[in-house]
Structure 1
Amino acid sequence: MKILIIEDETELAKSIGIYLSGEGYLCDYAITFAQAIEKISLSDYDCILLDLMLPGGSGFTILEELKRMKKYDGTIIISAKNSLDDKIRGLHIGADDYLSKPFHLSELAARIYSLIRRRQLGNVNIIEQNELRIDVLGKEVTVNGQQLALTKKEFGLLMYFISNANKVISKVALAEHISGEMTAVFDSYDFVYAHIKNLKRKLTDAEYGNYLRTIYGTGYKWEI
Structure 2
Amino acid sequence: MKILLVEDNPELTQNIVEYLEQQGLRCEAVTSRFEAEDRLLAYAYDCLLLDLMLPDGNGLQLLEWLKSNAIPLPVLIISAKNALDDRLRGLDLGADDYLPKPFHLAELLARLRAIYRRAKLGGKDELVFGEILIRIQSLEVFVHQTLLDLTKKEFDLLVFLLVNKNKVLSKQSIANHLWGDYTDNLANFDFVYQHIKNLRKKITAAGGKDYLSTVYGLGYKFDEYAQ
Q: TM-score, normalised by structure 2?
A: 0.94
Counterpart residue number, 1:208: 208
Percent identity over paired residues = 47
Question: Does the CA-based 8 Å contact 1:3-1:47 persist in structure 2?
Answer: yes
Amino acid at match of 1:99: L
- Structure 2 CA distance, aligned partners of 1:100 and 1:52? 11
- Structure 2 CA distance, aligned partners of 1:5 and 1:212? 31
Is residue 165 of structure 1 aligned with residue 177 of structure 2? Answer: no
Tell me, what secondary structure is at the counterpart of 1:180? helix
- Structure 2 CA distance, aligned partners of 1:79 and 1:154? 34
Question: Does the CA-based 8 Å contact 1:47-1:74 persist in structure 2?
Answer: yes
Moved more, 194-203 or 55-64: 194-203
Moved more, 180-189 or 73-82: 180-189
The Cα shift of 1:173 comes to 0.7
Is residue 217 of structure 1 aligned with residue 217 of structure 2? Answer: yes
Q: Give a deviation string over 1:66-124, Cα, whole Å, max 9, x none.
A: 11111111110000112111110000011111100111111111111111111111111
- Structure 2 CA distance, aligned partners of 1:55 and 1:37? 14
**How well do the aligned residues superpose, as a CA RMSD in angstroms?**
1.4
- Structure 2 CA distance, aligned partners of 1:184 and 1:131? 36
Is residue 81 of structure 1 aligned with residue 81 of structure 2? Answer: yes
Counterpart residue number, 2:55: 55
Tell me, what secondary structure is at the counterpart of 2:142? strand
- Structure 2 CA distance, aligned partners of 1:92 and 1:155? 35
Map 1:1-224 onto structure 2 (within 5 A).
1-181=1-181, 184-224=184-224
- Structure 2 CA distance, aligned partners of 1:122 and 1:198? 28
Amino acid at match of 1:161: L
- Structure 2 CA distance, aligned partners of 1:222 and 1:198? 15
Structure 2, gaps ≥5 residues long: none
Amino acid at match of 1:124: K
The Cα shift of 1:185 comes to 1.8
Amino acid at match of 1:137: Q
Tell me, what secondary structure is at the counterpart of 1:141? strand
Amino acid at match of 2:167: K
Q: TM-score, normalised by structure 1?
A: 0.95
Tell me, what secondary structure is at the counterpart of 2:173? helix
The Cα shift of 1:134 comes to 1.1
The Cα shift of 1:184 comes to 4.5
Runs of 4+ in 1 over 6 A off after TM superposition: none
Moved more, 36-45 or 12-21: 36-45
- Structure 1 CA distance, aligned partners of 2:71 and 2:222? 23
Question: Does the CA-based 8 Å contact 2:87-2:98 persist in structure 1?
Answer: yes
- Structure 2 CA distance, aligned partners of 1:152 and 1:83? 40
- Structure 2 CA distance, aligned partners of 1:131 and 1:40? 35
Amino acid at match of 1:138: S
- Structure 1 CA distance, aligned partners of 2:95 and 2:173? 24
Amino acid at match of 2:144: N
Paired residues, what number? Answer: 224
The Cα shift of 1:223 comes to 2.2
